[in-house]
Amino acid sequence: MENEIVVEVKNLKKYFPIKGGFFGGVTSEVKAVDDVSFSIPAGTTMGLVGESGCGKSTTGRTILRLIEKTSGDIFFKGEDVSAMDKNKLRELRTKMQIIFQDPYSSLSPRLPVGEIIGEAVREHKLVEKAEYQDYITKVMKDCGLQPYHKDRYPHEFSGGQRQRICIARALALNPDFVVCDEPVSALDVSIQAQIINLLWKLQEERKLTYLFISHDLSVVEHISDSLGVMYLGSMVETGKTSDIFAEPLHPYTQALFSAIPMPDPDLKKDRIILEGDIPSPANPPKGCKFHTRCKHCMDCCKEVAPEMKDVGGGHCVCCHLYDK
């Protein structure tokens, strides 16, 4: 269905306890994901960007229930993911998959590639035994791997080929939704382009929906339909990718975009240098979390947390500069 919402996240929070003291009790919490909301329509890609440690990967893993949420709601095609029991969640695992960031540590060195890709297929009984080998061969070919690669081990492959193995493993279960957790950050630029084009081709063929987590803004602009910008566990700006790149509204988004390298060395860009260090997510600033580094900081920013506002066309920003 066109415009069907595949994934919807409402007020998602994930806090990690910090233990200390004589008895090892909980002394405080790291607010890794703090009140994040968004939705992803079927067949589209949402990019999620921000500095390292802002909570992008934690958001993706919490949606898939690889780690359990603290509070909030997660819906997959209208079903509450958090309320599912073990049997229902096991069925869901085939429909929601993840491509991990590191193609080296996410593959077992003890298993041949054919077994890595086909292990979950056999476990979930997705195809008949007689069709199993042909099915794995087709998935490998779709991802740019050759049939003779089945009997080889991960250490025999390059970084780009390993990432293709990771993609094949995720797609072998024929999912509807895939979390791409920085799938090209560990690869050379030429290989990045091949993997991005592969993900694009597979999305067209299989009608996939992606959450694409990255800190490479040029890649996100190329592949994403919508965009979310995170800072210190919170979403500060969301909207269509074209709208945000044409007119970034939040001061943090503006600073991020000013750091994108220009292809032409003769063209100069006004780089926005953020002052100060990123605050601790265990002790975020009162009011707007970004006010300690923002040159537009006002008195209200220090006391009152801004609310997400739609400034038109679904372009939303969380900043007091746009209060009416």
In three-state secondary structure terms, 158 is: coil
DSSP output for 41-95: ETT-EEEEE-STTSSHHHHHHHHTTSS--SEEEEEETTEEGGG--HHHHHHHTTT
Beta strands in 232-295 (DSSP E): 234-240
Sign of CA dihedral 206, 172, 216, 48: positive
Convert the pLDDT of each residue in 294-307 to its tens digit: 988 899 999 999 99
What global pTM score does this model have? Answer: 0.89
φ, ψ of residue 44 in degrees (nearest 5): -115, 170
User: What is the token pair recorded at 52?
Assistant: 């390292």
Q: State residue 178 phi and psi, 5-degree precision.
A: -130, 130
Tokens 């240098």, located at residue: 273
Residues 151-161 as b/e (b if ≥16 CB within 10 A, e otherwise) read: ebebeebebbb
What pLDDT is stored for residue 198 in this prediction?
86
Residues 164-194 as b/e (b if ≥16 CB within 10 A, e otherwise) read bbbbbbbbbbbbbbbbbbbbbebbeeebbeb
CB atoms < 10 A from the CB of 62, how many? Answer: 25
Helix axes 132-142, 113-123, angle to 10 degrees: 120
Residues with Cβ < 8 Å from 53, sequence gap 6 or more? 278, 281
pLDDT at position 152: 94
* Alpha helices (H) in the chain, listed in sequence order: 56-63, 86-92, 113-123, 132-142, 159-171, 189-206, 217-223, 241-246, 251-258, 299-303
Q: How many Å apart are CA 289 and CA 291, to the nearest integer? A: 6
- Tens digit of each residue's pLDDT, the chain (324 residues): 457 899 999 999 999 998 887 777 888 899 999 999 999 999 999 999 998 888 999 999 999 999 999 999 999 999 999 889 989 999 888 999 999 888 888 899 999 999 999 999 998 988 998 999 999 999 999 888 899 999 999 999 988 889 889 999 998 998 999 999 988 877 778 778 888 888 898 899 889 999 999 988 888 988 999 999 999 999 999 999 999 999 999 999 999 888 777 776 776 667 787 777 788 888 889 999 999 999 888 999 999 999 999 998 899 999 999 887
- Please say whether the beta carbons of 290 and 251 come within 8 A: yes
User: In the sheet that 71-76 helps form, which strands lie side by side, from edge to edge?
Assistant: 25-41, 5-20, 71-76, 79-80
- Can you give the pLDDT at residue 2? 55
